[in-house]
């Protein structure tokens, strides 16, 4: 259904602070120009594409080759991966990283508090979604653009609670199991010079080495294609970027997994929506619950996962 930008502005715009615009590819986006930060959130995928705290460059990276179409994910920013991560098990034809980043989310509210602005968007189950994922849910993404970037992803199982009966009565449990990720693309000066702190001792699966289970020793440096889901990692992570003289602190809430990814040369070249020479200027550090950390939510219950990003001089 087409987005009525004029109507959304009538309901939600804050003059000089927040406006719904026609963004890249004609996709609707909320543009924030608040005292503490600038930023952009596309209704396509509930997708944050930019966060520029006052006095800084943009903290998020977007590919110059990104495709801006309703049937394609935006390359960069913070894709929302839901309800599966990567390829869907036993259904490789399904869209990678789930359907949420390919849907148009609805705008719920835009609120200013002091120098920051919070934008809330949501996605609900509908007959089309339920053809491939037969569950009742509300997924709300609440994003505060301020001195910090706060992204809060709340899932609610909206199945009627009285439909849950014991399995012995032949009716299936209405609990829902899913994976989720805020697949954040950070902008860096040169990925070959960065250090990722906070993952030492954590176990991970090395997706560049036949998913071998390994343990991270010390800080993580990027010296080749890197694709590592880490498990049982809830502590804050620091991305030190000497070429931009800054460090970014990622504090997570409700997230047990962390994925670190850089495609390096060959993989970047193989992606049509990723410039061949762009890989040195990005690194993904993803707040998520994937694999063994997938979450299960009973009817009427909620699951909250959040990322808090802060930038400091290095
Ligand atoms: O998060 C790392 C990863 O799973 C990589 O394996 C790579 O596939 C990346 O996500 C990007 O996925 P996408 O579907 O957005 O191209």
Kindly report, residue by residue over 183-215, the tens digit of the pLDDT.
999 999 999 999 999 999 999 999 999 999 999
Could you give the number of structural domains in the chain?
1
**In which band, very low, low, confident or very high, does the pLDDT at 161 lie, cut at 50, 70 and 90?**
confident
Greatest extent of the chain over all pairs of C-alpha atoms, in Å? 62
Is residue 105 within 8 A of residue 45, CB to CB? The reply is: yes
Atom of ligand 1 nearest to the CA of 85: 4
Q: How far apart are the first and last CA of the chain?
A: 46
Rounded CA-CA distance 271/263 in Å is 9
CA of 86 to the centre of ligand 1 (A): 6
Three-state DSSP class for residue 186? strand
Respond yes or no: is residue 286 known to be catalytic.
Answer: yes
Please count the other Cβ atoms lying within 10 Å of the Cβ belonging to residue 82: 26
- Which two tokens mark 155? 């899932």
Q: Which of 19, 148, 278, 286 is catalytic?
A: 286
**In which band, very low, low, confident or very high, does the pLDDT at 182 lie, cut at 50, 70 and 90?**
very high
Kindly report, residue by residue over 37-89, the tens digit of the pLDDT. 999 999 999 999 999 999 999 999 999 999 999 999 999 999 999 999 999 99
Is residue 309 within 8 A of residue 185, CB to CB? The reply is: no
Of the candidates 176, 1, 152, 5, which has an alpha carbon nearest to the alpha carbon of residue 80?
A: 152
Please count the other Cβ atoms lying within 10 Å of the Cβ belonging to residue 185: 25
Q: Which of 44, 141, 183, 278 is catalytic?
A: 183
- Which two tokens mark 142? 């609440």
Atom of ligand 1 nearest to the CA of 271: 16
Are β-strands 37-42 and 149-157 bridged in parallel, bridged antiparallel, or unpaired? unpaired
Rounded CA-CA distance 88/94 in Å is 6
Kindly report, residue by residue over 260-295, the tens digit of the pLDDT. 999 999 999 999 999 999 999 999 999 999 999 999
- Residue 95 is classified by DSSP as P
Return the CATH number at 163.
2.70.98.10
CB within 8 A of 254, min separation 6: which ones? 289, 303, 304, 305, 306
**In which band, very low, low, confident or very high, does the pLDDT at 252 lie, cut at 50, 70 and 90?**
very high
**Residue 6: cis peptide before it, omega within 30 degrees of 0:** no
Kindly report, residue by residue over 90-133, the tens digit of the pLDDT. 998 999 999 999 999 999 999 999 999 999 999 999 999 999 99
Rounded CA-CA distance 276/281 in Å is 11
* Ligand 1 cavity residues, CB under 6 Å: 73, 86, 96-97, 183, 207, 227, 259, 261, 284, 286
- Displacement of CA 34 from its chain's centroid (Å): 22
Residue to probe by mutation, ligand 1, list 261, 262, 273, most atoms within 8 Å of CB = 261
pTM value is: 0.96
- Residue 292 is classified by DSSP as G
Respond yes or no: is residue 183 known to be catalytic.
Answer: yes
- Which two tokens mark 301? 């219950």
Is residue 211 within 8 A of residue 235, CB to CB? The reply is: no
Average pLDDT for the chain: 96
Element (H or E) spanning 124, and its range? strand 116-124
What's the domain range around 248? 5-313
């Amino acid at each position: 259904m087409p987005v009525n930008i004029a109507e959304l502005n009538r309901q939600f715009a804050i003059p000089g602070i927040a406006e719904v615009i026609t963004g890249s590819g004609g996709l609707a986006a909320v543009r924030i120009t608040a005292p503490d930060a600038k930023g952009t959130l596309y209704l396509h995928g509930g997708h944050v594409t930019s966060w520029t705290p006052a006095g800084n460059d943009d903290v998020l990276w977007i590919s110059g080759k990104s495709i801006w179409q309703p049937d394609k994910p935006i390359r960069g920013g913070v894709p929302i991966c839901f309800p599966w991560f990567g390829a869907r098990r036993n259904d490789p034809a399904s869209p990678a990283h789930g359907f949420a980043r390919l849907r148009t989310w609805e705008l719920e509210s835009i609120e200013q508090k002091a120098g920051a602005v919070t934008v809330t968007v949501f996605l609900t189950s509908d007959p089309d979604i339920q053809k491939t994922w037969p569950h009742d849910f509300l997924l709300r993404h609440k994003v505060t653009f301020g001195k910090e970037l706060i992204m809060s992803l709340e899932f609610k199982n909206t199945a009627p609670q009285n439909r849950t009966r014991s399995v012995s009565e032949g009716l299936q449990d209405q609990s829902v199991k899913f994976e989720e990720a805020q697949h954040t693309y950070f902008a860096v000066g040169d990925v070959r010079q960065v250090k990722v702190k906070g993952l030492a001792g954590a176990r991970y699966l090395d997706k560049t080495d036949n998913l071998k289970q390994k343990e991270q020793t010390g800080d993580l440096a990027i010296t080749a294609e890197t694709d590592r889901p880490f498990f049982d990692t809830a502590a804050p992570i620091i991305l030190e970027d000497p070429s931009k003289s800054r460090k970014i602190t990622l504090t997570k809430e409700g997230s047990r997994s962390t994925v670190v990814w850089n495609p390096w040369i060959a993989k970047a070249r193989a992606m049509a929506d990723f410039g061949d020479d762009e890989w040195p200027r990005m690194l993904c550090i993803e707040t998520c619950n994937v694999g063994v950390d997938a979450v299960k939510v009973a009817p009427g219950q909620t699951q909250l996962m959040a990322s808090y990003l802060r930038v400091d001089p290095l």
